Every structure is written in structure tokens, then in C-alpha cells.
Amino acid sequence: MFRLETEVDKERRILLGRRLHDDDWDGSSGLRALHSTSAEHELPLEVWLLDEDGTLVGGLAGRTWAYWLHVDLLWVDARHRGEGHGARLLAQAERTAREDRACTRSRLETWDFQAPAFYRKHGYEVAGEVADYPPGVHEFTLVKRLDQPEPDAGHRPRGLRGRLLGRRVRPR
């Protein structure tokens, strides 16, 4: 006989994570191929933009694993947006991931009201979208190859290709 419980239990969660991890590694030749490589372990990657006083003006927090950069957070203070700082943060993270950690791809999630156009401008393509997550918002998963040359400045990367949530948008 079994019973279900719905309480939060940190120790069980850790155990559950370990067991799933072990099953995943046992069940996937792709994961097993990472064993004993530099990409086996997840490593944090952070890039900070500070003003002359050392105050945080922007930053990117992510991680690398399995030859992928995963961008978790990217933010620039509203007073300094439009000055290229977000592009600088993203480029530095991609460069570090590619040159120091042998990453070949990058991925991230963003909501429709955040920055999908910014990421498309920087070579990311939409790999998936979830409507109403949360209600009234679209979430996009975007990916980019890091092992290919950057597209020309006038080139529009594939992905949404001028469409956002079913509406045509004019190129800027």
C-alpha cells in the first residue's frame, strides 16, 4: 500500500533530484558522453555592469552545462537602456561561454513584453513558445548557435521573422 503526501520536504526533494539524475544519466548515451568532460558540471556565468561608483547598472546571470550557455537573467537599469549595454552583457557572456567553456549554443526564455525582439536582433531564433504562461503573457524559448560567425548587421535572423503573437510588426 502506498500513500501520497503534499508537504514540502527538502530532504525528499534532494533525494528525488539525485534519483532522477542517476536514471537520466543511465538512460541517455548523450548524457553519458559528457562524463569526465569540461561540460559535465553546471557552472555559473555572471557578467556585471557597474557605474564609476560601483553601483549595479546591469547584469547577466546564467550558467553553462553540456556545451550550452543558459541565460537566466539579463537586466539593464531603465535610465541606461538603449545605450548598447544589454548587447555588451550578452556578447561578453556568449564570448566567455564559447572561448572559455567550449559552448556551442545558447538558450534563454523571455516573455513577449520583455525582449524577444532584442534577442532576435542578436541572432537568437524562437525554438518554442507557450501561450498564457502566465495568463495573458506569451513565453518564448530562444536559441542561438555560438559556433558560427555573427550574421551581418542587416540580416534578420530566422525565428519570429517579423511576427509576434500572430501580429505582423514592422522592421525598425
- Report the pLDDT value the prediction gives residue 35, as an integer from 0 to 100: 83
Cell readout for 150 is 555573427
Q: Which fold has domain 45-168?
A: Aminopeptidase (3.40.630)
Q: List pLDDT tens digits, range 109-153.
A: 999 999 999 999 999 999 999 999 999 999 999 999 999 866 554
**Chain centroid to CA 91:** 13
Helix, strand, coil proportions of the chain in percent (round to 5)? 30, 30, 40
Encode burial over 142-162: b for 16+ CB neighbours within 10 A, e otherwise.
Answer: bbbebeeeeeeeeeebebbee
CB atoms within 10 A of CB 49: 19
Q: Does residue 170 surpass a pLDDT of 70?
A: no
Query: Which phi and psi angles does 50 have, rounded to 5°?
Result: -120, 145
Task: Report yes or no on whether pTM surpasses 0.75.
Answer: yes
